[in-house]
Structure 1
Amino acid sequence: MDIVNIAAEAYASNFSFEEDDLLHEINQYTTATHDNAHMLSGHVQGSFLSLLSTLLQPSRILEIGTFTGYSALCLAKGLKPGGMLHTIELREPDAATAKSYFERSVYKNNIRLHLGDANEIIPTLNEQWDIVFIDADKTGYISYYDLILPAVKQNGVIIADNTLFHGQVLEENISGKNAKAVHAFNEHVKNDPGVQQVLLTVRDGLMLIRKL
């Protein structure tokens, strides 16, 4: 199911601030070479992440699901001086690609890439998070959320990607495993009295969650 009008997305892209050269290169490379290029945040969503991070001026960011590094570099744009972004990737080839781009970035000393299972890595980080971006395996969303929420600062923000999951969550009888998991996550957050949330129809759905 197409949930984003192609013409509207192109129009939005035209009126969003431009990618820098490195982001544009990652976008082009991933689109041209990666079998799962649709997983890239892309221009409009990336611009949103950059703008949100810049407004919040975080000192600590956690990203669960690095992919080829695009979203991490978008989020890093808002870091305070001396701030740090930790990003976790399970797939070694994607981590290697992301690392190559991070090393060419002005944020190379502000990004720490972790290779492995987020459930095992997160408890070792011993940080308090201003922003968390969840964009990994959908069946793990609830587990990641419950794991990181105690370490999110008051008024800190969690951003969950793909919360409309290709429109499959709109089906009367949700059948896909990932769509079921995303819908369960959306319900889980909705029923959490400790947060305030809004689900935005940006790209494949972004849920913004503020810890109260």
Structure 2
Amino acid sequence: MSQEAWTEVDHYLTEALLAPDPTLDAALADSQAAGLPAINVAPNQGKLLMLLAQMTGARRILEIGTLGGYSTIWLARALPADGRLVTLEYEPKHAEVARKNLARAGFADQVEVKVGAAIAALPSLEGPFDFIFIDADKSGYPDYFLWSLKLARPGTVIVADNVVRAGKVLQPGNDANALGVRRMNELIAAEPRVAATAVQTVGSKGWDGFCLIRVK
């Protein structure tokens, strides 16, 4: 199967199972117009995040890596009316686009976008969070996992995206991103307080995967 076929299947699944969504379409269009990289999750992946957060009954969500706020909107849709989401974004330009997208989606009062290095912001946060999505620089994944654990509670679900990296995780060489994913996996495997698995995916975003972690 080719990348073209994977993308066509993703488009079919999206059209078959997801309703048209002008709000999310506008978020993507504004991100593109602002020159943000097209590395947001796919629509079917975004809805998966929303469903997972809903299944956990999440009232407080942490996202590490905002980009233009596309995945943030999906996650915010899982929250009850009194729920809160904190999202961390390194680039001020990305954060500005995200805030506008979130405001248009109706989440300006429920979502806080913190700007700066995530590793600097994480110690200032108050847990626990019920659901945590890690989708930032992969070299930082080991630290993000450890901080997520500190900010979690029993039952918290942590999702780490992009853990296959087109197979580079097998032979990372000097690839800092793949090395970061492998180090995170080692930390997870040695941590008795969590249960975890990882799943490979193919689709419009290529060959990748995610790690699903539950705090015991």
The alignment's TM-score, normalised by the length of structure 2, stands at 0.88
Shifted more, 23-32 versus 162-171: the winner is 23-32
Contact (CA 8 Å) 1:134, 1:158: kept in 2 or not? yes
1:34-66 CA distance string (max 9 Å, x none): 3521x1112111111111122222111001110
Distance, in Å, in 1 between the alignment partners of 2:117 and 2:82 is 26
Higher RCO structure (Cα 8 Å, ≥6 apart): 2
Distance, in Å, in 2 between the alignment partners of 1:146 and 1:154 is 15
The Cα of 1:27 is off from its aligned counterpart by 2.4
* AA in 1 matched with 2:165: F
The equivalent residue for 1:54 is 54
Q: Percent identity?
A: 31
Contact (CA 8 Å) 1:56, 1:78: kept in 2 or not? no
> C-alpha root-mean-square deviation of aligned residues, in Å?
2.2
Shifted more, 55-64 versus 21-30: the winner is 21-30
> For residues 202 and 145 of structure 1, do their structure 2 counterparts lie closer, same or farther at Cα, with a shift above 3 Å needed?
same
> For residues 53 and 92 of structure 1, do their structure 2 counterparts lie closer, same or farther at Cα, with a shift above 3 Å needed?
same
The equivalent residue for 1:152 is 152
- Does 1:23 find its partner at 2:27? no
User: Where does structure 1 lack aligned partners over 5 or more consecutive residues?
Assistant: none
The equivalent residue for 1:42 is 42
> For residues 6 and 160 of structure 1, do their structure 2 counterparts lie closer, same or farther at Cα, with a shift above 3 Å needed?
same
The equivalent residue for 1:192 is 191
> For residues 19 and 188 of structure 1, do their structure 2 counterparts lie closer, same or farther at Cα, with a shift above 3 Å needed?
farther
The equivalent residue for 1:139 is 139
> For residues 191 and 16 of structure 1, do their structure 2 counterparts lie closer, same or farther at Cα, with a shift above 3 Å needed?
farther
The equivalent residue for 2:212 is 208
**Other structure's SS at 1:100 match:** helix
Distance, in Å, in 1 between the alignment partners of 2:20 and 2:124 is 33
Contact (CA 8 Å) 1:59, 1:83: kept in 2 or not? yes
Contact (CA 8 Å) 1:142, 1:185: kept in 2 or not? yes
User: Where does structure 2 lack aligned partners over 5 or more consecutive residues?
Assistant: 203-207
